[in-house]
């Protein structure tokens, strides 16, 4: 990689050992992908729940944080993805003191490094959405695909160590979705129907992700007849990224880089028509039983609008099984203030803040609570939780709330 | 006689070990029981098999960003693959391999999951961007 004077100085250790280690890591990755040079980034977003980090990852973070305050702090706005717990409700989840201690240590290390503990995977809805053409280094696949596709920003998937490195150095290797040549559509899909709910948007995203199945594929979807909501596209993108490892999609005449799809060479691509029945078949493939142990709304964290929808459905109900609604600290404060949290919790549900269900020791909390059959409206979550021993089932928000009342999906 | 396959991208050190191969994807979060070192997703073609000290040969990287931390954590407990070889890889697995010091190859002219077989003994040499079949079932 070509390094400018500042980058050479970082590599030589003139900015301290933390930034030196960070740029060494970035060069390894950049060399793998044959990046020519670095590009400066405006923000970094770090995924670092402690189920992923483990003791080894936390010790590594603590080692960085022990350096002098001059050397260890990030150089650009750097924020965090959901943590692995909501400390106020950890006992209810059955999380152990060891898990919480690891969380506290990771948080203390990040704070020492100047990282802002936003604890959210919906930063594009709540903190500071990136702008068109802006280069960023974002973790969480849902954050990356939304920022690339809807905002027109430029990011690769940046795992925790790489996003932290970008926060420290203020740059990232210029490869993949930082380059124009990678952002053109490579697969073409169309619909002649519109998804009716968040789970249907998620299932459509999941279907496209399964078809593309490759980080480097860029699908374009035609036939979307009206502008979807931010929450619809959040579920659509998060599911596509989860099922396909997809980092960028376009929607013809809607997303900013596909306003004139005819200019993108899509005539050269074979069209693939997606029937409503295809997407419903994907959703139904997860519906293996009617009995439900737990209902979870999470992945991505709920927006304020979703929180209001859940609260409206919970009004006056009494739940037979647990219902968990997981949101960001920013939305939680508004939900408390507007009475949404109280409505959900009066019905027997629980609102969690600053975590995400699958990032919170999902296997261990399943054992602690006897949870196996889980209903959710998140297509992303049903994809993930199979590996954690759950039987996850995809249904609408309304069906999920009804399941919390009756213990059954009907 | 050995058989050699060349990759477009490579990272890490020379390693030798037994091949565990499938035409399927890979995500440390989605597919693994990292405590016991086995594939835990029931629908995965390697379900139930141990990946410890194996050279994994798989089609593509799947899913989320957690694998970048998880490879490092798995390596710290010595319950990690020796190397991972993909037809196509996403940045997360590369970042994780760089962090966890796990050798990695990707990008072949042939489908590497069809070219190699489980049980073969492989030598991965990232400096030469190659994998060589050196024992077991030789093609």
User: Are the CB atoms for A136 and A44 separated by under 8 Å?
Assistant: yes
For chain A, percent of residues with pLDDT exceeding 70: 100
* Beta carbons of B63 and A25 less than 8 Å apart: no
Residue B139: pLDDT over 90: no
User: Are the CB atoms for A172 and A158 separated by under 8 Å?
Assistant: yes
Which one of A32, A48, A216 has the shortest CB-CB distance to B94?
A32
Tokens 């009475």 -> residue: A339
- Split into its structural domains, chain A has a count of 3
Q: What is the pLDDT of residue B62?
A: 82
Residue A359's H or E segment, with its range, is none
Q: What is the pLDDT of residues B48-105, one digit of tens each?
A: 999 999 999 999 988 788 889 999 999 999 999 999 999 999 999 999 999 999 999 9
Flag residues of chain A having pLDDT under 50. Answer: none
Residue A302: both structure tokens together: 């709920």
A215 shares a domain with A197: yes
* Beta carbons of A140 and B31 less than 8 Å apart: no
Dihedral (C-alpha) A22, A28, A32, A35: value to the nearest 10 degrees?
60
Q: Where are the alpha helices (DSSP H) in A158-271?
A: 160-169, 198-212, 230-244
* Beta carbons of B98 and A25 less than 8 Å apart: yes
Which one of A52, A162, A214 has the shortest CB-CB distance to B88?
A214
Q: What is the pLDDT of residues A135-187, one digit of tens each?
A: 999 999 999 999 999 999 999 999 999 999 999 999 999 999 999 999 999 99
Residues with Cβ within 8 Å of A262's Cβ and at least 6 positions away in sequence, in order, are none
* Beta carbons of A141 and B65 less than 8 Å apart: yes
Going from the C-alpha of A343 to that of each of A313, A337, A346, B17, the distances in angstroms are 9, 12, 5, 57
How far is the C-alpha of A71 from the C-alpha of A24, rounded, in Å? 15
A305 shares a domain with A276: no
Q: What is the pLDDT of residue A265?
A: 94
A contact set with B (CB within 8 A):
25, 28-29, 31-34, 47-49, 52-57, 60, 139-141, 156-162, 176, 213-216, 241-242, 244-245, 247, 358-359, 383-384, 386-389
A12 shares a domain with A125: yes
How far is the C-alpha of A24 from the C-alpha of A22, rounded, in Å? 5
The residues pairing with A330 across neighbouring beta strands, listed in sequence order, are: none
Q: What is the pLDDT of residues B17-28, one digit of tens each?
A: 999 999 999 988
Q: What is the DSSP letter of A250?
A: E
The residues pairing with A350 across neighbouring beta strands, listed in sequence order, are: A324
A249 shares a domain with A216: yes
Which one of A28, A160, A213 has the shortest CB-CB distance to B69?
A160
A137 shares a domain with A37: yes
A379 shares a domain with A306: yes
Residue B114: both structure tokens together: 């069809």
Q: What is the pLDDT of residue A388?
A: 86
Q: What is the pLDDT of residues A80-124, one digit of tens each?
A: 999 999 999 999 999 999 999 999 999 999 999 999 999 999 999
A97 shares a domain with A43: yes
Residue A222's H or E segment, with its range, is strand A219-222
Residue A43: both structure tokens together: 């923000």
Domain holding A202, by residue range, is 184-283
Of the three residues A283, A313, A340, the one that is the final residue of a domain is A283
A77 shares a domain with A191: no
Contacts of B72 in chain A (CB under 8 A): 56-57, 60, 161
Of the three residues A180, A209, A244, the one that is the final residue of a domain is A180
Other C-beta atoms closer than 10 Å to the C-beta of A227 total 10
CATH number of the domain enclosing A305: 3.30.499.10
Angle formed by the axes of helices A160-169 and A50-65, nearest 10°: 30
Going from the C-alpha of A207 to that of each of A244, A273, A283, B56, B72, the distances in angstroms are 9, 12, 9, 27, 31
- Tell me the DSSP string of A287-333: ---SB-SEEEEEEEEEPHHHHHHHHHHHTT---SS-EEEEE-HHHHH
Going from the C-alpha of A304 to that of each of A251, A328, A336, the distances in angstroms are 25, 9, 11
Contacts of A215 in chain B (CB under 8 A): 60-61, 88-91
A157 shares a domain with A38: yes
Contacts of A140 in chain B (CB under 8 A): 64-65
Which domains occur in chain B, in start order? 3-135 (3.50.30.10)
A198 shares a domain with A77: no
**B77 min Cα distance to partner chain A (Å):** 9
**A338 min Cα distance to partner chain B (Å):** 33
Residues with Cβ within 8 Å of A55's Cβ and at least 6 positions away in sequence, in order, are A102, B73, B76
Instruction: List, in sequence order, every beta strand (DSSP E) within A49-138.
Output: 78-80, 137-138
A93 shares a domain with A164: yes
A85 shares a domain with A165: yes
Residue B39: both structure tokens together: 């594939």
Q: Report the SS3 class of residue B32.
A: strand
Residue B1: pLDDT over 70: no
* Beta carbons of B95 and A162 less than 8 Å apart: yes
Residue among B27, B60, B75, B91 with most chain A CBs within 10 A, to mutate: B91
Of the three residues A252, A283, A314, the one that is the final residue of a domain is A283
* Beta carbons of B88 and A47 less than 8 Å apart: no
Residue among B13, B95, B101 with most chain A CBs within 10 A, to mutate: B95
The residues pairing with A250 across neighbouring beta strands, listed in sequence order, are: A220
Nearest of A45, A68, A46, A49 to residue A58 by alpha carbon: A49
């Amino acid at each position: 990689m070509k390094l400018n004077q500042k980058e050479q100085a970082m590599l030589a250790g003139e900015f301290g050992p933390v930034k030196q280690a960070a740029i060494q890591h970035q060069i390894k990755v950049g060399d793998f992908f044959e990046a020519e040079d670095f590009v400066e980034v405006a923000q970094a977003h770090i995924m670092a729940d402690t189920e992923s980090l483990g003791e080894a990852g936390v010790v590594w973070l603590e080692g960085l944080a022990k350096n002098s305050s001059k050397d260890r702090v990030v150089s650009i706005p750097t924020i965090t993805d959901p943590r692995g717990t909501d400390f106020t409700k950890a006992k209810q989840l059955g999380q152990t003191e060891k898990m919480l201690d690891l969380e506290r240590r990771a948080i203390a290390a990040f704070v020492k490094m100047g990282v802002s503990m936003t604890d959210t995977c919906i930063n594009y809805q709540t903190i500071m959405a990136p702008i068109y053409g802006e280069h960023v280094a974002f973790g969480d696949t849902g954050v990356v695909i939304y920022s690339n596709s809807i905002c027109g920003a430029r990011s690769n998937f940046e795992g925790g160590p790489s996003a932290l490195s970008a926060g420290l150095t203020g740059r990232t290797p210029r490869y993949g979705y930082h380059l124009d040549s990678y952002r053109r559509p490579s697969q073409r899909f169309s619909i002649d129907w519109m998804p009716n709910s968040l789970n249907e948007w998620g299932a459509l995203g999941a279907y496209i992700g399964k078809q593309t199945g490759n980080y480097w594929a860029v699908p374009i979807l035609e036939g979307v007849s009206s502008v979807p909501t931010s929450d619809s596209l959040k579920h659509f993108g998060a599911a596509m990224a989860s099922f396909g490892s997809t980092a960028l999609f376009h929607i013809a005449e809607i997303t900013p880089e596909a306003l004139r799809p005819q200019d993108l060479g899509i005539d050269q691509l074979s069209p693939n028509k997606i029937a409503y029945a295809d997407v419903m078949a994907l959703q139904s493939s997860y519906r293996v039983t009617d009995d439900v142990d737990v209902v979870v709304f999470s992945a991505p964290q709920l927006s304020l609008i979703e929180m209001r929808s859940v609260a409206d459905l919970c009004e006056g109900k009494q739940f037979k099984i647990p219902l968990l609604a997981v949101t960001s600290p920013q939305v939680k404060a508004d939900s408390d203030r507007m009475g949404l949290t109280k409505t959900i919790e009066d019905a027997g549900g629980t609102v969690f803040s600053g975590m995400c269900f699958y990032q919170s020791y999902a296997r261990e909390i399943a054992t602690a609570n006897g949870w196996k059959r889980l209903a959710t409206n998140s297509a992303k979550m049903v994809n993930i939780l199979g590996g954690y021993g759950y039987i996850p089932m995809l249904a609408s928000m309304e069906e999920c709330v009804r399941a919390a009342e009756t213990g059954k999906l009907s | 006689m050995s058989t050699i396959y060349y990759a477009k991208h490579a990272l890490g050190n020379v390693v030798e070990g037994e091949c565990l191969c499938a035409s399927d994807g890979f995500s440390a979060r989605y597919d693994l029981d990292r405590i016991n070192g086995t594939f835990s997703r029931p629908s995965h073609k390697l379900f139930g098999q141990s990946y410890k000290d194996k050279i994994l040969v798989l089609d593509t990287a799947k899913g989320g960003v957690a694998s970048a931390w998880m490879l490092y954590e798995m390596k710290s407990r010595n319950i990690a693959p020796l190397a991972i070889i993909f037809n196509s890889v996403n940045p997360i697995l590369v970042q994780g391999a760089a962090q966890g010091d796990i050798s990695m190859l990707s990008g072949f002219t042939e489908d590497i999951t069809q070219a190699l077989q489980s049980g073969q003994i492989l030598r991965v040499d990232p400096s030469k961007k190659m994998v060589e079949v050196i024992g077991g079932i030789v093609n």
